[in-house]
Structure 1
């Protein structure tokens, strides 16, 4: 569940982040001592109230030791949950597993028919043709099942009951391993949650529970189930003062500029899971530099334990810029889908043309769902860094293999050339059985330069843009930094970033790098490109260049709309503009709009029209090819 900050709901409910609600519950059935549980409560939503009520209703269904009678047609149940609970008890008694094989709903989404059967029912259908990689299966096409429908009186009635199995059942001690019988009680869930917050590892966490239960045989779940629960239920750990700091930060940002947007995501228990925010400056910069972005969650997370997820772009100086940020509780597909959707809506539904991430399957799935038209590229640096780990044991790794891989990758100019060289490489070093290389080749369109030449990447092929943005926090974040401290230092880190860009703007407007050749094209670049990009051009051996190759995104003579957008860093920009004005007053003619050449077509270049209109005369002829 997500809420957009800016609605009346958001301002009041986000304030609840500053206070933690205490719950004191005990495990009555086992006489366990009471303890406290702290969690974030964001606010009640009618949908969530219903979900919580349903969860509590389900948890209240208890299992006793009374023998359960065999199912037969005509049996009635008040609800479908009661029906499922009955059949689960019966299945556990008879030592088999249960699955819901089919369910029909009416026009309002309410269940009206259900088919519940043995977990061994149905036939196994392999997902791929390679039988050597087939997974184990319990399917035997067992016909044991029951059918039930909701009658006109609102009662569930069994219409069919088949109790004969075509397979032997397991022992009572092993029936607990069926998925349907694995059940984490509320006491265990709360204990896992609390211990996970304090950093206790799962193996120790689970080991303590085994001792408390008197042995593995007394538990109805395995350690894997506990890990799955933590991965699913984990929410954003804000720490002491973190919620209040986050709330204060959002309030301050909204007060300073109307374009600030934040989104919060809570779970069914109303605990904070994920947060996303972007200010007006980031949204305006995206209009100019949203063609290519990088997304990387590893830097601060791995280094400092801070689950920071930035969207990073590249400005006209080649510098990294922040285009939105999130704090996430886990790195799974659903989390990334939520974050990408929040960011996309913040950017008015305009998806980037290209995105660079590390080689993460969950990110890949989320990008395909949220940005179906965006070209996705894996970070080449991350892949090449794995070479020693994956191939270092090969006898010829340092005797030609590593060099040949690099040559095949960087010296192939077409897809066909790469495919041919790759085949020769695999054959030469007998790597046909290497599954890692096989997987890389299957996904070659995501990382091989020859397959990505048709897309503009703003001069980068790695997520080091994101890492360079994250590196700005190195002086403000350390291993003991709380979220409260991180939020407090967030502005300070970005203020420095804005100052660096402002200085680069100043230098590009008011300083000129001398040309090193007599060619006219170099003077063209000198006049319009920022100093950083002009230095790159000087390093290339180019003699003639059509004007259509002069890209607007690198130009210094365009007034960009985002520089006029009010943000939390206006004090810095105002000071920089003042310094620039003083310098311009002293240096007549320096930094002014270039004068069009005689006889050239003079046209207005409009940069950004959503919030304001800024015009600039094009310096050379018709600008449609620039």
Structure 2
């Protein structure tokens, strides 16, 4: 959306907040010397830091984005959630308390992320599994009835429902003839992303998406998975590839999920594996925003090195200059990015 003035922007979001039932606040703004606005970031009045949404992958710039307070993940090894915590989580979930709010209360009670024995993803996986146990056999029956009607209308419609040993619904995949035909022509590069939304039972929507000759996104078959772990990803990847009945994509693009990365390497050994650069760069404010030079030079220099380095040698030299100039030798996030640079830096993707 494009607004003619800051007043028009604020007016629009004030109407939006009234419809959705929350307040907004200006969390960040920047002006030229003549007081004209270069950008403004709006956020939920009850939230924390807002996420900067990158609207143009070819040349990112700050844009307005509403957020409802974010709880940042802390990377740890995979652990079990204790029984006492499970009971508290179940009570909160069945009472309708949102996942972010429930997790935030645990962080507060523990006195910080570092005092928790599990991270947000462990918590999400537990709740998702609890949801699908509550879904029960009736949910699987509803899926079967719907898929049967679709099969009656289109004999090329395909679906597969995965059940556990207790007869509980675990994962679902479906696709039609149009998806298979589209993959035949436009399946050389495929994106896979589980961050879109979850249904009422906490099952993540997991679509395979391609791009056609009109630069339009096309659906190549979606799934619902009950948790984002090795077993679920393996089932979905194999099911999708078997239905397409052709070779694996030349390139597959995902976010930086470690479990997903390992399974893609296993199921698609001959595909070039990429990280979504948009997912990476939207973390810049969180990872580097506290640096004193972030708004003045650091951010623009980093983006220039990422997009404008036309040789690997230039990228390597520019990265070294960036790290040295801004004293970022101990930044763990940048270290991990550099170690995996062949997965996301544009100069390695020619």
TM-score of the aligned structures, taking structure 1 as reference length: 0.37
How far 1:403 sits from its partner (Å)? Answer: 1.0
Task: Indicate if the aligned counterparts of 2:199 and 2:205 stay in contact, CA closer than 8 A.
Answer: no
Partner Cα distance (1:253, 1:330) in 2: 26
1:280 to 177, 183, 187: 177
Q: Does 1:338 align with 2:209?
A: no
Partner Cα distance (2:88, 2:307) in 1: 52
Alignment-derived partner of residue 108 in structure 2: none
Higher RCO (CA < 8 A, seq sep 6+): 1
Could you list the per-position Cα deviations for residues 463-521 of structure 1 after superposition, in whole angstroms to 9, with x for gaps in the alignment? xxxxxxxxxxxxxxxxxxxxxxxxxxxxxxxxxxxxxxxxxxxxxxxxxxxxxxxxxxx
1:438 to 314, 323, 335: 335
How far 1:231 sits from its partner (Å)? Answer: 6.2
Alignment-derived partner of residue 362 in structure 1: 259
Could you list the per-position Cα deviations for residues 417-476 of structure 1 after superposition, in whole angstroms to 9, with x for gaps in the alignment? 1011101111111111111000000000111000111xxxxxxxxxxxxxxxxxxxxxxx
Partner Cα distance (2:224, 2:102) in 1: 27
Give SS of 1:298's match: coil
Q: Does 1:263 align with 2:160?
A: yes
Alignment-derived partner of residue 44 in structure 2: none
2:316 to 406, 419, 427: 419
Could you list the per-position Cα deviations for residues 382-427 of structure 1 after superposition, in whole angstroms to 9, with x for gaps in the alignment? 1111111111111111121111101111111111210111011111
Could you list the per-position Cα deviations for residues 65-104 of structure 1 after superposition, in whole angstroms to 9, with x for gaps in the alignment? xxxxxxxxxxxxxxxxxxxxxxxxxxxxxxxxxxxxxxxx
How far 1:366 sits from its partner (Å)? Answer: 1.4
Task: Indicate if the aligned counterparts of 1:193 and 1:230 stay in contact, CA closer than 8 A.
Answer: no
2:221 to 324, 330, 333: 324
Aligned length: 257
Alignment-derived partner of residue 308 in structure 1: 205
Q: Does 1:298 align with 2:195?
A: yes
Q: Does 1:388 align with 2:285?
A: yes
Partner Cα distance (1:267, 1:224) in 2: 25
How far 1:327 sits from its partner (Å)? Answer: 0.9
Task: Indicate if the aligned counterparts of 2:207 and 2:219 stay in contact, CA closer than 8 A.
Answer: yes
Partner Cα distance (1:416, 1:195) in 2: 53
Partner Cα distance (1:386, 1:303) in 2: 28
Give SS of 1:300's match: coil
Task: Indicate if the aligned counterparts of 2:204 and 2:225 stay in contact, CA closer than 8 A.
Answer: yes
Alignment-derived partner of residue 251 in structure 1: 148
Task: Indicate if the aligned counterparts of 1:328 and 1:335 stay in contact, CA closer than 8 A.
Answer: yes
Distance change >3 Å, CA 306–CA 271, structure 1 → 2: closer
Give SS of 2:196's match: helix
Partner Cα distance (1:256, 1:307) in 2: 27
Task: Indicate if the aligned counterparts of 2:193 and 2:254 stay in contact, CA closer than 8 A.
Answer: yes
Q: What are structure 2's unaligned runs of at least 5 residues?
A: 1-75, 106-115
Task: Indicate if the aligned counterparts of 1:235 and 1:271 stay in contact, CA closer than 8 A.
Answer: no
Task: Indicate if the aligned counterparts of 2:135 and 2:201 stay in contact, CA closer than 8 A.
Answer: no
Distance change >3 Å, CA 264–CA 194, structure 1 → 2: farther
Give SS of 1:285's match: helix
How far 1:245 sits from its partner (Å)? Answer: 3.9
Matches within 5 A, 1:582-597: none
Q: Does 1:230 align with 2:126?
A: yes
Matches within 5 A, 1:181-580: 196=93, 199=96, 230=126, 233-234=129-130, 236=132, 238=135, 242-301=139-198, 307-348=204-245, 350-453=247-350
Could you list the per-position Cα deviations for residues 340-365 of structure 1 after superposition, in whole angstroms to 9, with x for gaps in the alignment? 11111111152111111122112111
How far 1:267 sits from its partner (Å)? Answer: 2.1
Task: Indicate if the aligned counterparts of 2:275 and 2:344 stay in contact, CA closer than 8 A.
Answer: yes
Task: Indicate if the aligned counterparts of 2:229 and 2:259 stay in contact, CA closer than 8 A.
Answer: yes
Alignment-derived partner of residue 621 in structure 1: none
Task: Indicate if the aligned counterparts of 1:234 and 1:330 stay in contact, CA closer than 8 A.
Answer: no
Task: Indicate if the aligned counterparts of 1:354 and 1:375 stay in contact, CA closer than 8 A.
Answer: yes
Partner Cα distance (2:199, 2:299) in 1: 28
How far 1:233 sits from its partner (Å)? Answer: 4.5
Q: What are structure 1's unaligned runs of at least 5 residues?
A: 1-134, 136-178, 208-221, 454-626
